[in-house]
Amino acid sequence: MLEQDLKTYLGLGRSLWSTPEASFTPMLDAIAGASVATQDGAVLIERASTALLTRSLVAGIEATADRVAEPFFRLSPDERVLLVGLHHGRWSYSRMSRILGTDVAASLQDMPRLAWKARMHLASQIPGLNYPTGSARNGMSCPDYDPEDPWTQRFLDEELSQRERLFLQTHVQGCSACQKALNSCRNLYYAVEKWIPTVAEYGRDQQMMKRLKTAARQVRHLYHPHEMTLGQALVTFTLRPETLTALGVGACLVYILSRFH
């Protein structure tokens, strides 16, 4: 399991519940449940994220009632999960569509539109931010600007093919209108990022990540003990209460016997 994925997963919890503490048990349950079915770290995070989102939908408005005054928490749970995945995890549109439970084939249309709508909503709450617009087509080579799914957003979300990206990089160097459109979208991108709940690289957040990882591993071993290495099996064995009792009794006996020799 990648650290960045786990960190993003922690960010999803932060975006779906008002406090880190309230989000932790649902995150623990979701990751433990998902680990029963797969040991592929990437798939595990996706399934746990879907389960987490579903659980927050069941919890309803209660989950974030304390923070509803903040613009980010007025987005729908889908939109919040999407923005955390895109900004913190650099997760792709197709991965986000799997997590949100939509059809992958539709992801190229649905994900950028949903992301743009969410970003536009946040932009409207940021004083002084210029509303991102496209360029009027100055030349024949200017890319089409779809106001609901602009190329500037796909560029920043890294959702373009290498060829498209190269074309646009070259184009904006010679076209001030498209350069301006890209810059205004970039400003929006970083302004929106400041609203998204963060996860620290240290302290409590690191402890939470460790506990999530351990829970996933332990549940996996519980259901699939044959996957354990000898070392892991011995650690698991020695941590069992009855083993610890037996070891304690054994140590006492050794001590007592040594006193009589």
Q: Which amino acid is at 209?
A: M
| Contact stretch for Zn ion (CB under 5 A) within 13-21, 43-51, 141-149, 191-199 | 141-149
Per-residue interface string for the shown chain with Zn ion, residues 48-87, x marking contact by CB under 5 A: ----------------------------------------
CB of 129 to Zn ion, least distance (A): 22
Per CB under 5 A, 175 contacts Zn ion: yes
Q: Where are the alpha helices (DSSP H) in 86-161?
A: 93-99, 107-123, 151-156
Q: Does 16 bind Zn ion (CB under 5 A)?
A: no
Rounded alpha-carbon distances, angstroms, from residue 194 to 19, 87, 105, 156, 258: 17, 10, 31, 16, 65
Residues 6+ apart with CB under 8 A from 39: 220, 224, 227
Residue with tokens 């940021």: 126
Residue 24 or residue 167: which is nearer to Zn ion going by CB?
A: 167
Q: Token pair for residue 196?
A: 């998204």
- By CB under 5 A, which span of 89-97, 108-116, 150-158, 178-186 interacts with Zn ion? 178-186
How distant, in Å, are the alpha carbons of 154, 251, 254, 261 from that of 257?
74, 10, 5, 7
By beta-carbon proximity to Zn ion, the closer residue of 136 and 256 is 136
Q: Which has the closest alpha carbon to 89: 212, 204, 2? A: 2
Residue nearer to Zn ion on the CB measure, 8 or 135: 135
For the CB of residue 175, give the shortest distance to Zn ion in the complex, in Å. Answer: 3
Least distance (Å) between residue 166 CB and Zn ion: 15
Taking the complex as a whole, how short is the minimal distance between the CB of residue 180 and Zn ion, in angstroms?
9
- Please name the residues in contact with 163: beta carbons below 8 A apart, sequence gap of 6 or more: none
Quick one: 12 or 175, whose CB is closer to Zn ion?
Answer: 175
Under the binding rule (CB under 5 A), the answer on residue 178 touching Zn ion is yes
The number of CA neighbours under 13 Å toward the Cβ of 233 is 7
Q: Which is nearer to Zn ion, 61 or 136 (CB)?
A: 136
Question: Min. distance of Cβ 141 from Zn ion in angstroms?
Answer: 7
Indicate which single residue of 142, 156, 209, 216 sits in contact with Zn ion (rule: CB under 5 A): 142
* Residue whose CB is less far from Zn ion, 45 or 142: 142
Sequence-distant (6+) residues with CB within 8 A of 110 are: 97, 102
Q: Based on CB atoms, which residue is closest to Zn ion, 144 or 242?
A: 144
Kindly list the residues in this chain that would bind Zn ion in the complex (CB under 5 A).
142, 175, 178
